[in-house]
Amino acid sequence: MNAVKQKGHVNVRMISGDHIETAKRVAYKAGILTDEDLQKPNSVMDADDFRSMVGPIEQQQVYNDDGKEEVKLVLENGERFITILEDLKVLSRANSDDKLLMVVGLKNSFKSVAVTGDGINDIEALEAADVGLAMGSGCSAAKNASSLILSGDDFESAIRAIMWGRNIYHNVGRFLQFQLTVNLSVTLLVMFGILFFAESPLNAVQLLWINLIMDTFAAIALSTEPPMEKILKSPPTSNVSILTPPIWR
């Protein structure tokens, strides 16, 4: 767990309905809490205290990038949430409303949020999160509200989901890099031939063969490449252009 948090840039928070001491012990055993975290006053909180500090959820009418009006969920006391955000690791005696409070607060703090759930009460939190992860043994309503369905009910399944998600992103970037390189090279070659020799060095059939080979084999190679563990060391890439400066170079 600690390796995933540090290398994978994933901050895990546990929301539990158990007593605070039980939740603290489970989180410590799982690696969510460390000895350093236990020294901080807000690392483990009771849901009643958390709820009273951040306040209820409010609805605001905002305009999205397309200019359309939509409803945005915000916390009544979002500034107080930010002050406890970095220290808070475990929330005890919590219910589904507290899970939704946590998701909304994290999204308002410009964090990418993934939440797990398996019951009907988790539907709102699954829909509000950027990525909803439903457990394989969960109810069908939770699965329909989620973005991904984990085949297992353990944290290892969530790690595999992170690895495959990041792997798809990197593979798409590699495919675009390959396509841009080949297309630009062929275009420059044809233009050079026409300008200096009055004819293209490649005829239509040859261009079709190049296009067929580079599309088919590149797509097969990149789509079947499994993720490696070192991909967890790369940070999340939310709201970042897939065509990075190294790809353009």
CATH classification code of 2-159 = 3.40.50.1000
User: Does 16 score more than 70 pLDDT?
Assistant: yes
Q: What is the mean pLDDT of residues 95-107?
A: 92
> Do β-strands 90-92 and 44-46 pair in parallel, antiparallel, or remain unpaired?
parallel
* Cut 0.85: pTM above it: no
Mean pLDDT of all residues belonging to the chain? 83
Q: What sign has the CA pseudo-torsion 43, 51, 19, 150?
A: negative
- Cross-strand partners of 71: 61
Return d(Cα 94, Cα 58) in angstroms, integer: 19
Any idea where the domains of the chain sit in the sequence? 2-159, 167-248
Q: For residue 210, what pLDDT is reported?
A: 81
User: Does 6 score more than 70 pLDDT?
Assistant: no
DSSP string across 27-80: HHHHTSS-HHHHTSTTSEEEHHHHHHHH--EEEEEEE-TTS-EEEEEEETTHHH
Closest-CA residue to 44 (of 60, 25, 65): 25
User: Does 108 score more than 80 pLDDT?
Assistant: yes
